[in-house]
Structure 1
Amino acid sequence: MAENVTIARPYAEAAFKQADGAGALGPWSEALDKLAAVAADPQMQTLIHDPKLGEDKLAELFIGVVGDLDESQKNFVRILVENERLQVLPEIRDLFVERKNEREGTLDADIVSAFELDDATLNTLTQELEARFKAKLNVSVSVDPDLIGGVTVTVGDDVIDASVRGKLANMAAALKI
């Protein structure tokens, strides 16, 4: 949702500056993963929107559920509670990860394969993609049998469709001309 991203941006920037200044991008990224997961939980959503629950109690409860946070991360949660922004934690996390990846020179790559990829094939594919995009890739792999064969790769806005389904669709489009 575009509105949530707009609301989340200054908080993500603040978290990034805090983490970067402390040399703690990794720990902050892990903490934001946990915070976003807790904020997305339906039971927690009910508590977040409960007008009877005070800010201090909500912050205390939220921090208690998340668990292992350092003091600056706890303060970040308190600020989010105070400004009624806990619900945008998933967007804050996503924006933070984008900035972290940019800083580290890495990109996210989503590979969808028709079949399970063995380690050797995945390593070869990852090396070829890293050479093509001239960046280190954080690769996530999923299986979609509807592709029939091959893979699709999404890196940022770039999509490489090397699937049989994609080739059949291209042939069908060419035959309609």
Structure 2
Amino acid sequence: MIVDKYVKALLLSLNENEVVEVYEAVAKLSLVAKEPKFILLVKSPLLTVDEKVDFLSKTAECENSKFKNFLRILIENKRIDLIKEIYKKLYAEVSKMFNTYAGTVIGKVSEDTLKAIEDKLSKEFNATIKLKLKDEDLKGIKVLVDVLDVEIAVVEDRIKQNLIDTIIKAI
């Protein structure tokens, strides 16, 4: 709920060009926010709010004034530890805004098959869907697009079991 309010306010303050820049900056911060030293630093009473904002904006490689104001608000309200959740929500909102989604194909498939799956999903959802291949030794494939809540699995064992069930029902 709180995260939604922060993301909504941030997006309302940005124009389309700034959205991409700030999104990338938040993504960078969410990666380093996992480090315990990072949290200690941004919560340290020894540093001023301005010093923390400068540190975070340099870490994120973003000097956008609206981004800096957003960081200032997070720090002053002691909400900087929400940066990972803010990133997840921002990712979902930016994906919807640009109608472009990222997903993963798990299994062993060719580049042509990966492209065909991308094209089929893009047509199905009337959006641009980009898939990355995560090469794992499955007896089948899984397709995941988190923001759209899409999970498709074609697994050899499941197909065999369904076939057996169908044969048994027919008898």
What range describes the TM-score normalised by the shorter chain of this pair?
0.7 to 0.9
Task: Tell me what 1:100 maps to.
Answer: 94
Q: Does residue 154 of structure 2 align to residue 162 of structure 1?
A: yes
The DSSP-based 3-state class of the residue aligned with 2:78 is coil
C-alpha contact 1:39 1:86 (8 A) present in aligned 2: no
TM-score by length of 1: 0.77
C-alpha contact 1:15 1:96 (8 A) present in aligned 2: no
- Aligned-partner Cα distance in 1 for 2:51–2:60: 14
- Aligned-partner Cα distance in 1 for 2:158–2:13: 44
Identity of aligned residues (%): 23
**What do the CA deviations read for 1:68-110 (whole angstroms, capped 9, x no partner)?**
3312211211111111111111111121121122122233323
Aligned with residue 9 of structure 1, among 4, 17, 30? 4
Structure 2 CA distance for partners of 1:27 and 1:169, relative to 1, 3 Å: farther
What is the Cα deviation at residue 174 of structure 1? 7.8
Larger Rg computed on CA atoms: 2
TM-score by length of 2: 0.80
2:13 corresponds to which letter in structure 1?
Q
Task: Tell me what 2:79 maps to.
Answer: 85
Q: Does residue 157 of structure 2 align to residue 153 of structure 1?
A: no
Task: Tell me what 1:3 maps to.
Answer: none
Q: Does residue 13 of structure 2 align to residue 18 of structure 1?
A: yes
Question: Which range is displaced more, 89-98 or 150-159?
Answer: 150-159
- Equivalent pairs counted in the alignment come to 167
CA RMSD of aligned residues (A): 2.7
Unaligned runs of 5+ in 1: 1-5
- Aligned-partner Cα distance in 2 for 1:24–1:57: 23
